[in-house]
Amino acid sequence: MNERIRVKDVRLLSDNWYVLKTTTFEYLHADGQWKTTSRETYDRGNGATILLYNRPRRTVVLTRQFRYPTYVNGNADGMLIETCAGLLDDDPETCIRRETEEETGYSIGNVRKVFEAYMSPGSVTEKLFFFVGEYSQKDRISDGGGVDSEDIEVLEMPFDEALRMVASGEIKDGKTIMLLQFAKTSGLLD
């Protein structure tokens, strides 16, 4: 509850797949004046993502899939390398375990939440929960690939190669860069 905000009007613009609204509110500025502002919010729920890593082999498991919104904004073939991720329909840990199995085929033991972040706070309501989890070859129970219309490629690669791909721009997904940098700065694979 923030007493500097008075919501005046909420209008639904679209609820085709996720929910887009525009809200008019008054906000009490630092100078003591109430000013009227309108903001659109795109609500697609919250999400979770995980960096799967193997310490002895110093490898990580990432995914690769077609992301249409990137295709219309400068990503030539629309393919994106990402950490495994999914939208939440349960608590974040339960969801990320299920998503890991569906997308990568790994059924992993311990997972650890490392941080939470709003990824696009000017317009998208989503909060993303970030996990890390160690995988091993014996945890692989299927090929992964996703469900329904998903067509997800599973990539296992050396951690140093993934870091190199961040530097070269071959990896250009925010959550993926954040988790790889976390792994580097925290010495997760050392």
Binding site for Mg ion (CB under 5 A): 85-86
Question: Which member of 3, 77, 143, 148 binds ligand GDD (CB under 6 A)?
Answer: 148
Residue linked to tokens 């311990």: 110
Residue linked to tokens 């004046």: 33
Per CB under 6 A, 85 contacts ligand GDD: yes
Contacts with ligand GDD: how many residues (CB under 6 A)?
Answer: 13
d(C-alpha 183, C-alpha 133), whole Å: 11
Q: Interface residues for ligand GDD in 91-110 (CB under 6 A)?
A: 99
Contact call for residues 22 and 40 (beta carbons, < 8 A): yes
Cβ distance to Mg ion smaller for residue 31 or 148: 148
Per CB under 6 A, 117 contacts ligand GDD: no
Cβ density class 40-62: b for 16+ within 10 Å, e for less: eeeeeebbbbbbbbbeeeebbbb
Choose one: 6-14, 142-150, 164-172, 178-186; the region binding ligand GDD (CB under 6 A).
Answer: 142-150
Question: Which member of 2, 7, 17, 31 binds ligand GDD (CB under 6 A)?
Answer: 17
Contacts with 45 (C-beta within 8 Å, 6 or more apart), sequence order: 18, 87, 88, 89, 126
Q: How far is the CB of 117 from ligand GDD (least distance, A)?
A: 10
Per CB under 6 A, 175 contacts ligand GDD: yes
d(C-alpha 70, C-alpha 153), whole Å: 17
What does the binding site for ligand GDD look like in residue numbers (CB under 6 A)? Answer: 17, 47, 49, 85-87, 99, 126, 128, 148-150, 175
